[in-house]
Chain A
Amino acid sequence: MYSKGFKPLAAATVVALATAMALVFFYAPLDADQGFVQKIFYVHVPMAIASLCGFVAGGIMAIRHLRSGDSSWDMRSYVAIHISIILGVGVLATGAIWAKASWGHWWVWDEPVLVSFLVVVLLYCVYYPLRFSIEDRERQARYSSVFAIAAGAFVPLNFAAVRMAEAYTHPRVLSQTGGNLPGEMRLTFLVSLLAMALLFVTLWKLELISKNASMQLKRLKRRLAEREAVAA
């Protein structure tokens, strides 16, 4: 069901990641202001974008679940949120490393972009206890979908609010005028972003394949147990 096209996708992801790494370290010039430390940008920002888009995608899949009643959409939404949280943890860790190298502190509480991202990740950490505290599968899927939609709507609102905030202390790399990056850096960033997007989809499919196989196995075990009970 989910394994269709997985191998070429995984191969494309490996190629894209290798290309992105090569561009980051051998092609993109050193930043005039930050120097070598700016290389963190090429992993930190694409990961943040993939994570935030994953949260929103999880919300959209949850809408499809509520509209259709098809539980596979709930599973897709859950996996998208799960991977987004993992990437979100990576964003916080790489962001802290970048902050230490650039500002001399691991965390800066008056920086709206950092704190708003932390708020988003913490919000989604609530998703797990909410989901797994409900035993009934249908209710679990329904409640989780409602949460995913509400939180998914919060993500772009939160992003817009930070953008509209007056205090801009975080560098605005992607502006409405097409970005402040020079050509080589922009190309490197776009390839890194593509690689991260492919990685997200690959991991999403991989986890769905695993979950689907696990569910099929459980179903098979149940059927065999029933058959044995009838035979006995």
Chain B
Amino acid sequence: MPALPLDEAGKYVAGAYVVFVTLLVVYVAIIGSKIARIERELTDLTSEDDK
């Protein structure tokens, strides 16, 4: 197949990079929320222990 013109190729290239960034952001958000939950539970435990 001949090379696609820039305007048509752009959406495919953007699509590929968006897939990569989305995977990365979703993964980091999930791990970040887990770490935040752990931090919250630790704070609760510490305050309970202080009582």
Contact = CB atoms under 8 A, between A and B. Distances in A.
Interface in A17-39: 31, 33-37, 39
Q: What is the predominant secondary structure among interface residues of chain B facing chain A?
A: helix
Which range holds the interface residue count of chain B?
20 to 34
A203 B27 contact: yes
Contacts of A39: 13
B31 A207 contact: yes
A210 B38 contact: yes
A40 B6 contact: no
Interface in B25-50: 27-28, 31, 34-35, 38, 41-42, 45, 49
Contacts of B24: 199
B35 A104 contact: no
A101 interface: yes
A89 B1 CA distance: 26
Contact of A43 (B17, B38, B45): B17
A90 B22 CA distance: 10
A180 interface: no
B17 to A, nearest CB: 6
Contacts of A168: none
A89 B22 CA distance: 12
Contacts of A104: 1
A153 interface: no
Interface string B1-17: 10111100110110111
Interface of B: 1, 3-6, 9-10, 12-13, 15-17, 19-20, 23-24, 27-28, 31, 34-35, 38, 41-42, 45, 49
Interface of A: 31, 33-37, 39-40, 43-44, 47, 86-87, 89-90, 93-94, 97-98, 100-104, 199, 203, 206-207, 209-210, 213-214, 217, 220-221, 224
